[in-house]
Amino acid sequence: MKSSPKILIIIVTWNKKEYVIDLLNSLSGINFPREQFDILVIDNASTDGTIEALEAQFSDIQIIKNPENIGGTGGFNTGLAWAFEQPEGQYDYLWLLDNDVVVHQNALSELVHTLEENADIAIVGSTMMQLDFPWRINEMGAFVNQQNGALLFHRHFEEVPSWKGKSIQELLTGNADLSQLLMHCQDKMDVDYVAAASLLIRAPVAKKAGLWMDFFIHFDDVEWCLRIGKAGHRIAVSGKSLIWHLSAMAKIPSWILYYDNRNILYLLEKYSNTPEAAIKMSSQWTLKKALYYQVIGKQDLSELHIQAITDYRQNIQGKKDIQLPYKFEKISNLESVLSDPTIKKVLIPWTINMQASNIQGIIVQSLKQRPELEVTYIAAPHNVQRNLPNLANVSLRELPARFVLRYIQYYRMRNQFDLVFQSDYQVIRPLSWIAPKNLFVNDENYCLRPAPTLSGVIDRLSEVVKLWFQSDHK
């Protein structure tokens, strides 16, 4: 680059103090002149001490404090509106960043280089690697399926072989040119969309395009990219600019499901070549998911799918007051569930990661404190692997390999247990019906829910059928 352009970095955060501090620390090491970029942090009324920590540790950033949480949409719109008010030419580019990413030292310089060398590209995004598996690509931009709104992530889950086993600290300063490290990988390529996890846009293009649609969260950056692409600009992803982001696989969806399923319908209405058919197809898929969640015992999340469709048909956008009846708790509090005297017999399937967040240790401790507590561990067919020691109150049961025989055994387990563990990552549907309570577990949290009921499923099925045959027109 002959001379460094001026950049405004916009970061939106809400109750992720440690993550945003890690991001700002990684920005302090980027290969770009510090005097050529300003950092604007939009805080959506965090309650975890984010503001105090940022003010204490970073004197060279500007913070805008929103009085309430207005989501990623509202936060980025706050930052964009501020940028649009600045004198003409104050900034050449705007760099939008998620609060829970860390950036390679060349991330910004490579994005800027792409725009400086390609006048017809309006937006360029970074390749997003996984923070929990640093050698694995999460997405290298994406394409949008106009038939159902699905995002088709380019090179999704592809791994960089030479990076396996390396730490994030090593990778942040090493060779990050994927066009040299992966076969048939270009230094840049055209896509429909790049995530605002790391998105560099020409400031005049951003101002002309205007603010994001009021989605509150999710699909807002997709809509913005499609809008700008429809105006005739190129959208590209860089194979040389890398960031690391916590993978979606590690995030268990809850209230966000409402926004995912509602906002995709607005996207299809505006950008699909066949909006009526696309909205119908997407709505029917959402209704199938609503029934699925009801069957596995996540009735509250099932209801969110129904609300997503009904609210879209009523043209409701923005933030929704979502109050879920069942709360996520930290794994460290799991002992309180196992200490309940009404829970005497527990079933744990092989799908539970017993080492995640010390689940195994908590269960063993509970078994020793309560000799009357009994745990049955069921093993996968042909894979009898114990994950609990041979205590007197622990038994092992192997499931048959044949599908029919396995389901017969599930049926025979009914009413034998007070509590069944279920993995949020791999639900075994029939197990949700065995005991009065289900404990859904992931690597960080658990959620205790009542078992589904036949009457509840029938009622939900009735709703699904009614909405299925209703018109999708608003």
pLDDT in tens, 416-453: 999 999 999 999 999 999 999 999 999 889 999 999 99
Q: What average pLDDT does this structure show over 339-368?
A: 94
The alpha-helical segments, DSSP class H, found in 156-255 are: 168-171, 178-181, 203-209, 220-230
Give me the pLDDT at residue 97, please: 98
Output b/e per residue, 408-445; b: 16+ Cβ within 10 A: eebeebeeebbbbbbbbbebbeebbbbbebbbbbbbbb
Give me the pLDDT at residue 473, please: 65
CA 114 vs. chain centroid, Å, equals 28
Q: What average pLDDT does this structure show over 284-303?
A: 97
Q: Dig out the tokens for 431 from the structure.
A: 């197990």
pLDDT tens, 370-382? 999 999 999 988 7
How far apart are the C-alpha atoms of 401 and 229, rounded to whole Å? 51
How far apart are the C-alpha atoms of 267 and 255, rounded to whole Å? 19
Q: What average pLDDT does this structure show over 66-78?
A: 97
Say if CB 417 and CB 261 are below 8 A apart: no
Share of residues in the chain with pLDDT > 90 (%): 90
**Contacts of 93 by beta carbon, 8 Å cutoff, 6+ apart:** 5, 6, 7, 8, 111, 112, 115, 200, 201, 202, 203
Give me the pLDDT at residue 2, please: 47
Give me the pLDDT at residue 474, please: 64
Question: Is pLDDT above 70 for 143?
Answer: yes
Question: Is pLDDT above 70 for 137?
Answer: yes
The neighbouring-strand residues paired with 188 are 238
What angle, 0 to 180 degrees and rounded to 10, lies between the N-to-C axes of helices 299-313 and 275-296? 160
Give me the pLDDT at residue 382, please: 75
Question: Is pLDDT above 60 for 455?
Answer: yes
Q: What average pLDDT does this structure show over 192-220?
A: 97
How far apart are the C-alpha atoms of 280 and 35, rounded to whole Å? 51
Question: Is pLDDT above 70 for 1?
Answer: no
Give me the pLDDT at residue 249, please: 62
Give how far Cα 382 sits from Cα of 4, 401, 405, Å. 61, 7, 14
pLDDT tens, 249-262? 667 889 999 999 99
Q: What average pLDDT does this structure show over 50-71?
A: 96
Share of residues in the chain with pLDDT > 70 (%): 98
Give me the pLDDT at residue 248, please: 66
How far apart are the C-alpha atoms of 198 and 111, rounded to whole Å? 9
385 vs 340, which has greater pLDDT? 340
Q: Torsion over CA of 23, 100, 199 and 52, rounded to 10 degrees?
A: -60
Give me the pLDDT at residue 439, please: 98
Mind listing the domains of the chain with CATH numbers?
7-249 (3.90.550.60), 256-325+456-469 (no CATH), 329-443 (3.40.50.150)
pLDDT band (50, 70, 90) for residue 295: very high
Instruction: Count CB atoms within 10 A of the CB of residue 378.
Output: 21
Lowest mean pLDDT among 32-36, 49-53, 249-253: 249-253
Name the E strands within 14-81: 37-43, 62-65
How far apart are the C-alpha atoms of 27 and 220, rounded to whole Å? 25
Mean pLDDT of all residues belonging to the chain: 94
